[in-house]
Amino acid sequence: MLSVSLSRLQNRVLALARFGALPGGGVTRMCWSPPYEEARTWLLGELKTAGLATWVDPAGNVFGGLGVEGLRSATPVVLTGSHIDTVPEGGILDGALGVLAGLECLHVIRESGTRIARPLAVAAWSDEEGRYGSLFGSRAFCGRLDAAAIPKMAAVDGDRLVDAMGRAGFDATRATEAAAPRGSVAAYVELHIEQGPRLEEAGVPIGVVEAIVGVRRTRLVFHGQADHAGTTPMERRRDAFLAAAEYALKARELVVTRGGPRAVTNIGVVQIHPGASNIVPGRAELVHEMRDPDAGVLERLARECDALAREVAATRGIRVELRPMSATTPAPCAPRVQSTIEAACASLGLASRRLYSAAGHDAQNLAGVTESGMIFIPSRGGKSHRVDEMSDWDAIERGANVLLHTLLRLAA
């Protein structure tokens, strides 16, 4: 039975981990940054070494094709992939595994001369982590990118997408041209680390994803009044930070009590202006993220949180601005892809379990244009989006072989 080369995959995972490597382990490789661009060049070289045709689309997505040199509806491809950007201080596997395992699968299929009825391609989608916009590259590819929004897209530090892409040699205003021709993708399957504890705790080697959560991000700007922190009487202060802090605690309470068992929420960005210990905060900004696999639940929670923000601001005599940043749609995975993954697991003698993904993934955009699914492997300690994110190498090998046999079945 055909199988991947773990040593080749391992070498590539460790080689990619060097781009943006941090001294204490882990990696910071944000999309369009110099280490990302170096990694992208390296990846193109590896795809060529594997004997694949390569191309890059106007959204910066990188492709390697076997039996195909670009996407046309005349020859629908079976597609795999993931992303090579990371969160700040992230791990070496989130995204990288799916791209490099996909590359390894195509490499071994080509090398072995295995006949396939459909062409195969592997994609590295740009800005999956959403420094400038959630799931950017796959959104463009799936025709979900709003051209009018592009000039306004920016990172939390204010760096604009048009500038970041410009530095990397791309014209962001042309990113919508990356939209794939209708019917050009026969199916999509992505291998990823679970990033949570469920598979490891259950002792199950493979997860078959049934659905992927939607993620909503909103920037809340509380406008109070900057004042002298010593001389202004307490009752006269309009402290923007205290409103933000009250909102943070109450929003968490709201999501936990009013959401379903799968709803989660996080405030991971807080900025206070002017930001001096002797000035009452005049402005406080939060980025509030919330997730649920049910679109209805997510929308209701978002409405209730917006109302909460207005109420907190009003009782403190300050103003709040709500700026929606991004909203991805929860997506069910295709039953045919799920059952194909399960058949591949059975052929390899591996147990599997169905589960939903609490992380966002490019596969949820692909679900809008083709039959899309995902394979998960256990994450050590359930840890991810941190520098010690890891999975066992034998778990990686099992996952890559499940991907290989899923692709072969989908391409048969």
Question: What, of Mn ion, ligand GLV, none, does residue 67 touch, CB below 5 to 8 Å by kind?
Answer: none
- CA dist 189 and 400 (Å) reads 12
Q: Please state at what angle helix 96-112 crosses helix 34-49, rounded to 10 degrees.
A: 20
Question: What, of ligand GLV, Mn ion, none, does residue 205 touch, CB below 5 to 8 Å by kind?
Answer: none
Residue 320: φ, ψ to 5°: -125, 140
Q: How far is the CB of 359 from ligand GLV (least distance, A)?
A: 3
Q: How far is the CB of 338 from ligand GLV (least distance, A)?
A: 20
Q: How far is the CB of 358 from ligand GLV (least distance, A)?
A: 8
Site for ligand GLV contains 371 (CB under 6 A): no
Please tell me whether residue 120 adopts helix, strand or coil conformation. strand
Q: Are 36 and 27 in contact (CB under 8 A)?
A: no
- Selected from 271, 359, 382, 387, the binder of ligand GLV by CB under 6 A is 359
> Nearer to Mn ion by C-beta: 67 or 98?
98
> Nearer to ligand GLV by C-beta: 184 or 357?
357
Q: Are 81 and 370 in contact (CB under 8 A)?
A: no
Q: How far is the CB of 82 from Mn ion (least distance, A)?
A: 6
> Nearer to Mn ion by C-beta: 186 or 267?
267
CA distances from 384 to 32, 95, 358 (A): 22, 11, 12
The widest CA-to-CA distance across the chain, in whole angstroms, is: 80
Q: Which structure tokens are listed for 227?
A: 């004042």
- CA dist 44 and 65 (Å) reads 11
> Nearer to Mn ion by C-beta: 21 or 53?
21
Q: How far is the CB of 70 from Mn ion (least distance, A)?
A: 25
Question: What, of ligand GLV, Mn ion, none, does residue 360 touch, CB below 5 to 8 Å by kind?
Answer: ligand GLV
Please tell me whether residue 132 adopts helix, strand or coil conformation. coil
Site for ligand GLV contains 98 (CB under 6 A): no
Site for ligand GLV contains 194 (CB under 6 A): no
- CA dist 197 and 207 (Å) reads 12
Contacts of 207 (CB under 8 A, 6+ apart): 194, 198, 199, 352, 353, 354, 355, 375, 376, 377, 378
Q: Are 94 and 385 in contact (CB under 8 A)?
A: yes
Rg, C-alpha atoms of the chain:
22
- CA dist 27 and 1 (Å) reads 35
> Nearer to ligand GLV by C-beta: 76 or 90?
90
Q: How far is the CB of 371 from ligand GLV (least distance, A)?
A: 22
Q: Which structure tokens are listed for 391?
A: 């999975």
Question: What, of ligand GLV, Mn ion, none, does residue 282 touch, CB below 5 to 8 Å by kind?
Answer: none
Give the residue carrying structure tokens 């194909």. 340
Q: How far is the CB of 129 from Mn ion (least distance, A)?
A: 5
Which positions from 126 through 145 interact with ligand GLV, judged by CB under 6 A?
Answer: 129
Q: Which structure tokens are listed for 105?
A: 């699968």
Q: How far is the CB of 366 from ligand GLV (least distance, A)?
A: 15
- CA dist 105 and 111 (Å) reads 10
265 DSSP β-pair partners: 290
Q: How far is the CB of 290 from Mn ion (least distance, A)?
A: 16
- CA dist 130 and 160 (Å) reads 12
Which positions from 216 through 255 interact with ligand GLV, judged by CB under 6 A?
Answer: none
Q: Residue 288: what residue type?
A: H
Question: What, of Mn ion, ligand GLV, none, does residue 279 touch, CB below 5 to 8 Å by kind?
Answer: none
Question: What, of Mn ion, ligand GLV, none, does residue 20 touch, CB below 5 to 8 Å by kind?
Answer: none
Q: How far is the CB of 364 from ligand GLV (least distance, A)?
A: 10
Site for ligand GLV contains 360 (CB under 6 A): yes
Kindly list the residues in this chain that would bind Mn ion in the complex (CB under 5 A). Answer: 94-95
Question: What, of ligand GLV, Mn ion, none, does residue 190 touch, CB below 5 to 8 Å by kind?
Answer: none
Chain residues that interact with ligand GLV, rule: CB under 6 A: 129, 359-360
